[in-house]
Structure formats: C-alpha cells, structure tokens
C-alpha cells in the first residue's frame, strides 16, 4: 500500500465519527521570509514547511477550506476545515457557520 492510500485511510478513519476536522491552516503564526540571497532550495524548504497542514489534502482528495479565524499579533490566522471525500457541501456549510458566528 502506498503512502497516499495510507494517509487517505487515516483521514477517512478520523472522519468516520465526525462531520469535519478543524485545525490551524499553518503551524506557525508567521514565517520569517528567506534572506534575499537564499538559494532556491532554501526558498522551497520555507514554502513547503508552511504547507504542512494543507498539502496532504491535495493527495487524499478530502475537501478542505481555509478561512480567517481572526488575528494574532496583527497577522491573520487561518482555520482549516476538512471534510469527508466528496462532501464539499458540509465543509462549505461549516465554514459559513463559523464566519457568521465570528462576525456577530
């Protein structure tokens, strides 16, 4: 079994008892920009390091939505909502519900 199938099964199992999973979009509040003289590899490492909570859903085909959860230190904080495969509607409804409550 390849890694993508294992990862998909792990998220399918996690979602078996829940409508959605909710997590930070990024693992850090802010990322320091690479130095101007940074190599291409350093830039790629920085970019891919910031996507650790998001990139896997491109492989597993679970619908995911990132919305603004507020601000910390003057910077936006993203909230990632992930749903069951082929159930984009529930993810969108959860995001809409969160935004309505946040804006009250």
Which residue has better confidence, 55 or 90? 90
Is residue 27 predicted with pLDDT exceeding 80? no
Q: What was the pLDDT predicted at 26?
A: 81
Q: Exposed/middle/buried for 85, CB within 10 Å: 0-12, 13-18, 19+?
A: middle
Identify the DSSP state of 65. Answer: E
Look over the chain and give the mean of its residue pLDDT values, rounded to a whole number.
Answer: 87
Q: Is the pLDDT of residue 32 over 70?
A: no
Question: Which residue do the tokens 């099964």 mark?
Answer: 9
20 CB-near residues (< 8 Å, 6+ apart): 81, 82, 83, 90, 91, 94
Q: Indicate the DSSP class of residue 26.
A: S
Greatest C-alpha distance within the chain: 48
Mean pLDDT score, 70-85: 90
């Amino acid at each position: 079994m390849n890694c993508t199938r294992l990862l998909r099964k792990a998220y399918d199992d996690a979602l078996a008892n829940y409508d959605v999973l909710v997590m930070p979009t990024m693992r850090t509040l802010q990322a320091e920009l690479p130095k101007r003289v940074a190599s291409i590899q350093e830039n790629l490492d920085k970019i891919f390091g910031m996507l650790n909570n998001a990139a896997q859903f491109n492989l597993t085909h679970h619908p995911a939505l990132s919305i603004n959860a507020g601000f910390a230190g003057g910077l936006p904080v993203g909230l990632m909502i992930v749903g069951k495969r082929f159930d984009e509607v529930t993810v969108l409804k959860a995001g809409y519900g969160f935004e309505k409550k946040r804006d009250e």
